[in-house]
Structure 1
Amino acid sequence: MAAFNLHPGVPKPGDLIEIFRPHYQHWALYLGDGYVISVTPVDEGPADMLSSARSVFNGKAWVRKQLLKDLVGNDTYRVNNKYDSKYPPLPVGEIIWRAKCSIDEEVAYDVLSNNCEHFVTKLRYGKAVSGQVNQAVDAVATVGAVALAAGAISLLAWLGSRSRERED
């Protein structure tokens, strides 16, 4: 199966590319002429969950330039400059210069504070942001709130049943 571009048109230099992997999204920055830059596990082979997990556990990643089609493989992707309305993009020449200066560097990696989305948004906007992290934190907070509410309801029901037992 060939890569499928969900976004009409062709990416432009400086665009953020969101790649839909099973269970997560990987992010890259389009350089032009079919090439992208992204952070990948230091010892990455084929793109899979195991190779991505290596960066999570060893805390290191490699800034790699490669063809978009090779990085995407059989997954789908789209151009997603989702923060443009919140943060003004840097001039394209500066984005590309900053990206090219990073090629082949080993960088620190942390899924919550320094992941692939943080890396490319720092290049495009000068500010590292990750909606994936915000969504994960929101999901954890929601699950925690639901668990707390369920616990409170259970406690109130238990107290109510104890109260009725005493009245009998």
Structure 2
Amino acid sequence: MAPILFDEEPKPGDLIEIFRGAYQHWAVYIGNNEVVHMIPAGDDSGILGNLLTMAESSTARVWLQKIWDVVGCHRFHVNNLLDDEYQPRQRHIIVQDACSMVGKELPYCVISRNCEHFVTGLRYGRPNSRQVQDVAVAVGGGAVVAVAAAALGAVLFSSLLKGDKKRYDSDD
């Protein structure tokens, strides 16, 4: 495999965000071009191309792999997304804890225990998933728009009915 080029050279304990179209996959860089990451059960390929598998899976396995085997042809970068909010744990502790998880099977839920929760838990000591929060905001915003549209539709429909009733009453 060809060497991977980073916009920013990762350091052990850094989070790697991999853009896979509809979602991002996350890994922890441990050095020597290796990452530790979590893959939902049923996706033995390590490529995570199947969103249905992710949504239906209730367990995941932790893997240690060369970064290019995880990244494949996708775009990626170092993204220590919560460094401004939380104090990162010491790098050697992040790496040690990540490596101690390799081979373990863990509970998995796309909403509360996904790969982003896994890596942020390792780096900051508290799991967090911004992409789940972003989807919740988008869905919540969509729900508000849908409710508003339904209410507006009900008002317009009611006005039309009142107009028809007035016209019907005036025909008498």
Structure-1-length-normalised TM-score? 0.91
How far is 1:22 from its partner? 2.5
Q: 2:16 & 2:117 partners in 1: Cα distance?
A: 13
Between 130-139 and 53-62, report the one with greater CA deviation: 53-62
- State the identity %: 36
Q: Deviations over 1:103-148 (max 9, x none)?
A: 1101111000000000000000000000010011111111111110
Q: Does the CA contact (< 8 Å) of 2:18 and 2:26 recur in 1?
A: yes
- Given that 1:3 and 1:76 are in contact with CA atoms closer than 8 Å, whether structure 2 keeps it comes out as no
Contact 1:55 1:61 in 2 (8 A): no
Mapped partners of 1:41, 1:164: distance in 2: 57
Unaligned residue ranges in structure 1 (runs of 5+): none
TM-score by length of 2: 0.89
Partner SS state of residue 36, structure 2: strand
Query: What pairs up with 1:6-85 in 2 under 5 angstroms?
Result: 8-43=7-42, 44-45=44-45, 47-50=47-50, 53-85=52-84
Tell me the equivalent position of 1:124. Answer: 123
Q: Which residue of 2 aligns with 1:102?
A: 101
Taking only aligned residues, the RMSD between alpha carbons, in angstroms, comes to 1.8
Question: Once the 2 structures are TM-superposed, how far is the Cα of residue 45 of structure 1 from its aligned partner?
Answer: 1.5
Distance 1:42 1:31 in 2: 23
Moved over 6 A (4+): none
Aligned length: 165
- In 1, Cα distance between equivalents of 2:119 and 2:64: 13
Secondary structure of 2:132 counterpart: helix
2: CA distance, partners of 1:46 / 1:129: 22
Question: Cα gap change, 1:3/1:150 in structure 2, threshold over 3 Å: closer, same or farther?
Answer: farther
- Paired amino acid for 2:97: R
Distance 2:12 2:158 in 1: 63
Give the drift of 1:164.
Answer: 1.7
Q: Which runs of 5+ in 2 are unaligned?
A: 168-172
Contact kept? 2:30, 2:95, Cα under 8 Å: yes
Is residue 2:159 matched to residue 1:164? no
Q: Say whether the 8 Å CA contact 2:16–2:28 is kept in structure 1.
A: yes
Post-superposition shift, 1:167? Answer: 2.4
- Report the CA distance shift for 1:80/1:38 in structure 2 as closer, same or farther (over 3 A): same
One-letter amino acid of the counterpart of residue 39, structure 1: M
Moved more, 144-153 or 158-167: 158-167
Q: Secondary structure at the match of 1:38?
A: strand
